[in-house]
Amino acid sequence: MEKVNDVEAVKALNQSYQELSDEVHKIIVGQDQVVKEVILSIFSRGHCLLIGVPGLAKTLLITTIARVLGLNYNRIQFTPDLMPSDIIGTEILDESRQFKFIKGPIFANFVLADEINRTPPKTQSALLEAMQEISVTASGKNYQLQKPFFVLATQNPIEQEGTYPLPEAQLDRFMFNIWLDYPSLSEEKQIVHSTTSDIEVELKQIITAEQILSYQELIRRVPVNDNVLDYAVKLAYSTRPGTEYAPKIVNDFINWGDGPRASQYLIVGAKTHAVLSGKYSPDIEDVKAVAKPILRHRMVKNYKAEAENISIDSIITELL
């Protein structure tokens, strides 16, 4: 596409983002940063993991975004007895004694993996191929999933009863790890008022699946200066203990750091953040803006960090 057309497309994407955000906030009170990061991951062609205690409207946020995007939407409730075939689908013997594949709920544009850490790793891993290849394999046959395709997972804090830690390979597939906090007092009053009355909110679809795909392609075409690329890669590199760029805080408190996927996501996330802010190319501030949700779930603290109550976010803040 010509550069002039890309400039117009950037303006159109920025406008679409504002409209999306406004529409979502008809239902969701507060959580501005969370809403921004979820929308940002969608345009970046990434998946999201939302972590917070029950009752913070994680599921409501995701269903609201699915509605304003007008995409095919399926919700999978993860439980300890959920099997991989409950996600991917299964083969049955039909009336003519032929095996027929019945597609599972993974066959949708928008998949909500609700309370993903309440099911064992064997079932969680059923999502790995879908999230990476946008396809699934069942009984030796490969099936392509619809595009655009997103997995948005919710997770209860790992200290809660009946939860399993997500495998590292699974965590690495998520572009963002978004932490939700309690609402402020004024926000909670607004939430209680709107949810305990008979107020009906009509949501309208803002963009189509085809527009999302074209915006995702646009993000890939956004140019990046060498100094921004250099900063992003060095930032990811500095999370790895024992390497030449690792500062003392990383060598002291981190067991292992982020892999190359973090560097890729830092650049793609910075591009999208820049475009959503009305810019045509990202700068170092855009990398910093997306660093925490991209880096935090790929770093593993050691026992010393646990003993001294050092958080991952405080280490990332030091790196920035």
For residue 187, list its beta bridge partners: none
Using one digit for the tens of pLDDT, what is the confidence trace for 188-234?
777 777 677 777 777 788 888 888 888 888 888 888 999 999 999 98
What is the reported pLDDT for 2? 45
Does the bond joining 148 to the residue before it have cis omega, within 30 degrees of 0? yes
Contact call for residues 277 and 13 (beta carbons, < 8 A): no
Question: 3-209: what CATH class?
Answer: alpha beta
Q: What is the pTM of this model?
A: 0.85
What is the reported pLDDT for 162? 63
Using one digit for the tens of pLDDT, what is the confidence trace for 14-51?
888 888 888 887 777 777 788 888 888 888 988 998 88
How far is C-alpha 261 from the geometric centre of its chain's CA atoms? 14
Q: Where are the alpha helices (DSSP H) in 47-140?
A: 58-69, 84-88, 121-124, 128-133
Q: For the chain, state the CA radius of gyration.
A: 20
Three-class SS of residue 25? Answer: coil
**Which pair of structure tokens corresponds to residue 31?**
């959580």
Whole-number mean pLDDT of the chain?
Answer: 83
Using one digit for the tens of pLDDT, what is the confidence trace for 301-314?
888 878 888 888 88
- Whether pLDDT at 268 is above 80: yes
> Other C-beta atoms within 10 Å of 274: how many?
23
Q: How far apart are CA 119 and CA 98, in angstroms?
A: 32
- Whether pLDDT at 171 is above 60: yes
How far is C-alpha 91 from the geometric centre of its chain's CA atoms? 30
CB-count exposure of residue 49 (10 Å: 0-12, 13-18, 19+) = buried
Of the chain, the percentage scoring pLDDT greater than 70 comes to: 94
- Whether pLDDT at 161 is above 70: no
- Whether pLDDT at 3 is above 60: no
Tally of residues, the chain: 320
**Which pair of structure tokens corresponds to residue 143?**
């099936």
For residues 249-269, b (16+ Cβ closer than 10 Å) or e, as one string?
bbeebbeebbeebbbbbbbbb
- Whether pLDDT at 96 is above 80: no
Contact call for residues 30 and 183 (beta carbons, < 8 A): yes
For residues 23-43, b (16+ Cβ closer than 10 Å) or e, as one string?
bbeebbbbbeebbbbbbbbbb
- Whether pLDDT at 4 is above 50: no
Between 12 and 53, the higher pLDDT residue: 12
- Whether pLDDT at 118 is above 50: yes
> How would residue 286 be classed by pLDDT, with cut points 50, 70 and 90?
very high
| Mean pLDDT on 166-189 | 80
Using one digit for the tens of pLDDT, what is the confidence trace for 69-83?
888 888 888 888 888
| Mean pLDDT on 126-149 | 84
Evaluate whether the domain defined by 222-319 bears CATH number 1.10.8.80.
yes
> How would residue 89 be classed by pLDDT, with cut points 50, 70 and 90?
confident
Name every residue whose Cβ is closer than 8 Å to that of residue 13 and which is 6 or more positions away in sequence: 43, 215, 218, 275, 276
What is the reported pLDDT for 227? 92
Alpha-carbon dihedral sign for residues 64, 65, 68, 72:
negative
CA distances from 29 to 24, 88, 188, 192 (A): 9, 34, 8, 10
- The structural domains of the chain, with segments of one domain joined by +, span 3-209, 222-319
Contact call for residues 266 and 228 (beta carbons, < 8 A): no
Between 276 and 30, the higher pLDDT residue: 276
